[in-house]
Amino acid sequence: MFVDKADISVAAGSGGNGAVSFHREKYVAAGGPDGGDGGRGGNIVLKADANMSTLMDFRYKRKYKAASGADGSGNQKTGRDGDDLVIRVPLGTLVRDKDTGAIIKDISDTEPFILAAGGRGGWGNKHFATPVRQAPRFARPGLPGQRRDVVLELKLLADVGLAGFPNVGKSTLLAAMSKAHPKIANYHFTTLYPNLGVVYVSEDSSFVMADIPGIIEGASEGAGLGHDFLRHIERCRLIVHVIDASGSEGRDPIEDYESINTELARYDARLAQRPQIVAANKCDIVSDKSALETLRRYMQERGIPFYEISAATHSGLDRLRTAISSQLSVLPPIGVFEPEYSEPYLGLISPDDLTIEQDDGIWFVEGSWLERLVSRVNFGDSESMMYFERALKSSGLYDRLEQSGIKEGDTVSIVGMEFEYKR
């Protein structure tokens, strides 16, 4: 089964917690803090696999989680880092944010991409020792790893896309020009998914050709199979428009040509500007030579290269192959989609991120940066509490509460924890 779109959820590993420990050794009266740091959480890594041609693997497994880092321990021992989880995807896979649809990454090369970063390990208490605070009894917990809900969307990496109505001979042409073996039969929608083939021109020249399943009138609005696979023609540098010159289906070749181009333009206006070559197929069974000549003049008047071929008998394929190679030599390389996604602010202090509301005499303060701050505080240690208070003050939270009308002695709820306000 060919699957070219899949929704998945990924979660990187959390960092390990820092350790609270003190050196204990015979004849050493005060060894001092020696709590080690927690290990880093594992990353979620995407890597292109040239042997994959579909997103079928993601049809049944949709949730992926990397390993968390191990906690630190005494004697300044750092916890083990969590192993990265490598997810293999086909070349040409677009990664989009599920909520916004923005492009995060175009996996069009073999470089690994970190989709979700593992959480940083927490510091052990050895980091908090100072000349004044010589025995800190607190450490930092590890930070959670990134979580993402993304959409994987496969857009084939092909130089040439074969466009045309069903049953005009696209699959036969692909098989004749390459070593691909698509299913070929004399009925509509034989091809149910895109096929790729490598066409060799010479010892040092080749190109990739894609047979895009039958596009019909209304495909851009969901008719037929074309709507599902039009995305695969977006990357193609050149479109080879295959037309049934014999009229064996009882259709007008010129009307077919215009109809397909209309659907391409409706799907993406840039496709209407893409260079084209017209391959008039089934010329070996053309009975009305005047109709073929009319078709030739029509294309010549519009400056469209026109080639008479027969994919079944291989007639004219050498000329078509050379023409395609010549066009590709002057066209820019396959396009890569630029990232559109902007990472949300992940810093510790971001006052704009918090909300302040009053209800029944209680001031409720919420914000994602506050959640991260609270996760790093040991509320059973006075020094850690002092750090918490300094962070709140430097963030401007106290000033905002004063401007909102808070009074000394009022109750403040911060991420579900209640405190008495004192200025």
Could you read off the pLDDT of 16-33 as tens digits, one per residue? 999 989 988 888 777 889
Same domain as 304, residue 174: yes
The average pLDDT across 64-92 equals 94
Does residue 202 sit in the same domain as residue 257?
yes
Residues 303 and 368 in one domain: no
Alpha-carbon gap, residue 114 to 104, rounded angstroms: 11
CATH number at residue 141: 2.70.210.12
Domain boundary residue, one of 328, 359, 384: 328
User: What number is the average pLDDT over the span 365-394?
Assistant: 75
Instruction: Please classify residue 210 by burial: count the beta carbons closer than 10 Å to its beta carbon, then call 0-12 exposed, 13-18 middle and 19+ buried.
Output: buried
Query: Looking at the structure, do residues 48 and 178 belong to the same domain, yes or no?
Result: no
Q: What is the pLDDT of residue 28?
A: 77
CA dihedral 19, 25, 30, 32 (to 10 degrees): -20
Residues 202 and 74 in one domain: no
Angle between helix axes 368-375 and 382-394 (nearest 10 degrees) is 160
End-to-end C-alpha distance for the chain, whole angstroms: 66
> What DSSP letter does each residue of 306-354 carry, written as one string?
EEE-BTTTTBTHHHHHHHHHHHHTTSPPPP-PPP---PPP-SS--GGG-
Statement to judge: residues 149 and 135 lie in one domain: yes
For 330-352, the pLDDT digits (tens) are 998 887 888 887 665 444 444 55
Q: Domain count of the chain? A: 3
Say yes or no: 121 and 38 in one domain: yes
**315 and 211 share one domain:** yes
**Residues spanned by the domain of 96:** 1-154+337-343
Residues 356 and 240 in one domain: no
What pLDDT sits at residue 191? Answer: 47
Which CATH number does the domain housing residue 204 bear? 3.40.50.300
**Domain co-membership, 83 together with 38:** yes
Q: Which amino acid is at 93?
A: T
pTM of the model: 0.71
